[in-house]
Amino acid sequence: MFAKWGRFVYRRRWAVLVFAALLLAASIAAFVEGGSFAAGKPTQGVQSTKAAELVSKGLGGDKKTGSSFQLIFRSSSQSSQDQTFKDAVTAALAPIQFDPRVSAIASPYNAPSPAVTQALTSRDGHEVLVQVDLKSTGQQAKKDYAALRGEIRSDSLSITATGQVPINRAFDTTLESDLSRAEDVSLPISLVLLLIIFGTVIAAGLPLGVGLLTIIGGMGATLLMARFTDVSQYAQNIVTFIGLAVAIDYSLFVVNRFRDELAAGWSREDAIANTVATAGRAITFSGITVAIGLSSMLFYVGSGIDSVGAAGAIVVSIAVLYGLTFLPAVLSLLGPRVNRLRLPARRTTRPGRGVWHGLATRVMRRPLLVLLPTVAFLVVVASPFLQMRMAQGSVDQLPSRIEARQGYDRLSADFPGQDQTTFDVVVSYPDGSPLTRERIGDQYDLDRRVAAIPGVLHTTSIYNADANLDRADYQNLYTTESSQRPEAVWQAVAQSVGKHIVLIQATSGAQATSDEARAIVRAIRADRGVGHGGEVLVGGFTAEDMDSVNFITGRTPLAVGFAVLATYLILFLLTGSVVLPLKAVLLNLLSIGASFGALVWIFQQGHLSAQLGFSPQSIDPGTPVILFSIVFGMSMDYEVLLVSRIHEEYQRTGNNTASVARGLELSGRLITGAAAIMVAVFLCFGLAEVVLIKAIGLGLAIAVAMDATVVRALVVPAVMRILGDVTWWAPRPLRRLHQSIGIGETGSRRPAPAGAPLSPAA
């Protein structure tokens, strides 16, 4: 099937190139006209999100509201009560005071009460907080903020902006700069490594060209998807480094195999057919396994992770498509000219010799002596994974040099109450009013029980309007006509009571993602709640954090099971063995465990944090999911490419030990070269300033390095030597099924023409 496709591409090479050009044009059009990436959104379907939706709809949320940002004005010498300080703030705000994009400006100098003035003034009295409300939302709000921020200046006060809009915009701009920096560094490094691997400029340039085409195609498809659904803002970075790494990896194998076929004396058409039948077939199966790994993220629908998985699977599919169409068509045109612009010649290795053949041979002489300490080493590296603590990433994902991050840190440290955590306790009555006598009594009791939870400083609700009122008093007060209620009580009801809900807010001094804050959420949710048709839901950042972690962990077994079983099936179709896929999955888990252990050791425990420029923090729950999905696919990538070559030799010779040595000899150097390129690309993304991208980049670099060296060079030959011919075993019915499908290696390729030169070691 693959050989026939190779001959078709050769004979219709110009038509195939026209198809590739049309695909490129469509990708560029989608890139230009596509949608935009979305900032992080709450996980759908969980209790905290339902609570937020009830508050939004029940307490005036039906009205269209805009966004906001905060400005911190500071003077080291003047007090905020000095007239010169007030005049400086007024002068700084004057350019935006009557701007049509601004709906309101709140400061200590126009506050409705002394309590609000105190909340907007720093503890030391040298800073004031001003909130600017915008009429716009989303992307437009970010543009409006950028324009307005440029107009706010002061000669005597320092001004720091933070808040919802500046933080979201900071993530956008930082991710874009991370992407640009990674591309600027990774492309030249990849070209140098390709020149070292191939030794000719033309051959080295082809994988890089396919990589660029794949990135354009992947970004175009992702932005097109963003027109119809929310796509995570992290998708652009992940699409780029997966697309570049995989496309170069696959193209490297195809170009190398084509050169080998030409060197073995095949005609141009036969060389293309043989290349597609071997390397093309291998990258197809490899692409399927990588896409399966990435597709496991689709089990997390509603969290934003699913869009990353979909985008990753799309870009891998595009890499395989170009590897089976555009690249063979170009090679058909180039023929022997693929070796043009040769660099100083490197020494070739005769068959049966070389570093990789010798290493495999030595490992298989003492397989247990190599296997046991190597596996023990990988287990030790993976051990910090057992201490992983997950929590949603926040503004601390940004570098400390960013103004929005600096403002957030100053806001939390300097202003009263800003370092506290608020829990939204929503009491919902779908069938009627919440202010009946019985329901008021239930809510009063709940308010007092929440206030008594260890760690809760106080509650804020309609049951704190007057300290002299008791349960019966509140029942009488809130069942009377609203016109007879005192003004303060009327305002409390307007802010906290909707048609079907009542909001009780609990305040704690615990950090939002701390164990203490999580204990408070668990205690509220464990409360007996309310009767008379009411339901209690807990929202707020801590509840969102817990629900996100629980959402991820709850779906992980299904996602992992899908990836393992689907990959097992693909490897069976590739090899016809039921033992080899099991070996591959188990060894794959070793690579993943090592990368997870390194992730915890570096980012959670804080080792190398000063050198890498980040704040130690809990692991964002999306990070291990994304890392597992990519690493699982990438590890299977090398497994497929190596095993495919070993299986090809086994089909030809029937000797397992010799096939392993010969397979490593022919593909070991190439796998190492491909892995070096992947590691370089991933390390370039490890230079990112956003912690999640930095963590994924470094985690992938470590995983690929471990997998392509320690696992492939030591563990694989040791295990295959111990298993012997059992490696290729399958029950007879499954063997017949595999043969009937007809996509496995047949070992039936014709011998090379007589007198053909020896193929150089790959």
Residue 382: per-residue pLDDT:
93
678 — pLDDT class (breaks 50, 70, 90):
confident
Which of 334-343, 443-452, 534-543 is predicted least confidently?
Answer: 334-343
The DSSP output letter for 749 is P
Contact between residue 648 and residue 717 where contact means Cβ atoms under 8 Å apart:
no
Residue 514: per-residue pLDDT:
93
Q: 506 or 531, which is more confident?
A: 506
pLDDT for residue 345 is more than 60: no
- Percentage of the chain exceeding pLDDT 90: 49
What's the pLDDT tens digit per position in 133-154? 999 988 899 999 999 999 999 9
Which of 482-491, 591-600, 700-709 is predicted least confidently?
Answer: 482-491
Residue 590: per-residue pLDDT:
86
Q: What mean pLDDT comes out for the span 635-660? A: 78
State which amino acid sits at residue 614. F
Q: What mean pLDDT comes out for the span 30-42? A: 76
Q: What mean pLDDT comes out for the span 160-167? A: 94
354 — pLDDT class (breaks 50, 70, 90):
low
Contact between residue 290 and residue 246 where contact means Cβ atoms under 8 Å apart:
yes
Residue with tokens 């909130």: 131
Q: What mean pLDDT comes out for the span 338-361? A: 70
pLDDT for residue 421 is more than 90: yes
Residue 163: per-residue pLDDT:
93
Cα(468)–Cα(470) distance, rounded to whole angstroms?
A: 7
What's the pLDDT tens digit per position in 492-525? 788 889 999 999 999 999 999 999 999 999 999 9
Angle between helices 622-653 and 716-723 (to 10 degrees): 50
Which of 284-298, 337-351, 542-556, 565-579 is predicted least confidently?
Answer: 337-351
Closest CA relative to residue 72, chosen from 162, 185, 142: 162
Q: What residues pair up with 339 in beta bridges, in sequence order?
A: none
Contact between residue 3 and residue 197 where contact means Cβ atoms under 8 Å apart:
no
The DSSP output letter for 713 is I
281 — pLDDT class (breaks 50, 70, 90):
confident
Cα(695)–Cα(685) distance, rounded to whole angstroms?
A: 9
- Percentage of the chain exceeding pLDDT 70: 93
Residue 484: per-residue pLDDT:
64
What's the pLDDT tens digit per position in 661-670? 888 877 777 7
Contact between residue 720 and residue 643 where contact means Cβ atoms under 8 Å apart:
no
Residue 686: per-residue pLDDT:
87
Cα(436)–Cα(443) distance, rounded to whole angstroms?
A: 10
What count of Cα atoms within 13 Å lies in the side-chain half-sphere of residue 39?
A: 19
748 — pLDDT class (breaks 50, 70, 90):
very low
pLDDT for residue 548 is more than 60: yes
pLDDT for residue 74 is more than 90: yes
Q: Which domains does the chain have, with CATH numbers?
A: 1-33+199-348 (1.20.1640.10), 67-168 (3.30.70.1430), 353-383+560-733 (1.20.1640.10), 403-545 (no CATH)
Cα(624)–Cα(703) distance, rounded to whole angstroms?
A: 13
Q: What mean pLDDT comes out for the span 80-98? A: 94
Contact between residue 27 and residue 221 where contact means Cβ atoms under 8 Å apart:
yes
Residue 676: per-residue pLDDT:
87
pLDDT for residue 567 is more than 90: no
746 — pLDDT class (breaks 50, 70, 90):
very low
pLDDT for residue 16 is more than 90: yes
303 — pLDDT class (breaks 50, 70, 90):
confident
Q: What mean pLDDT comes out for the span 681-701? A: 90
480 — pLDDT class (breaks 50, 70, 90):
confident
φ, ψ dihedrals at 728, nearest 5°: -100, 15
pLDDT for residue 646 is more than 90: no
Residue 668: per-residue pLDDT:
76
Contact between residue 323 and residue 210 where contact means Cβ atoms under 8 Å apart:
yes
Q: What mean pLDDT comes out for the span 610-621? A: 89
The pTM assigned to this predicted structure is 0.83
357 — pLDDT class (breaks 50, 70, 90):
confident
Q: What mean pLDDT comes out for the span 382-400? A: 91
Q: What mean pLDDT comes out for the span 545-574? A: 90
60 — pLDDT class (breaks 50, 70, 90):
low
Contact between residue 386 and residue 597 where contact means Cβ atoms under 8 Å apart:
no
Residue with tokens 């077994």: 557
Instruction: Kindly report the average pLDDT of the chain as a whole number.
Output: 87
pLDDT for residue 405 is more than 60: yes
The tokens describing 413, both together, are: 């440290």
Beginning with the edge strand found earlier in the chain, give each strand of the sheet holding 456-460 in spatial order.
456-460, 501-508, 421-428, 535-539
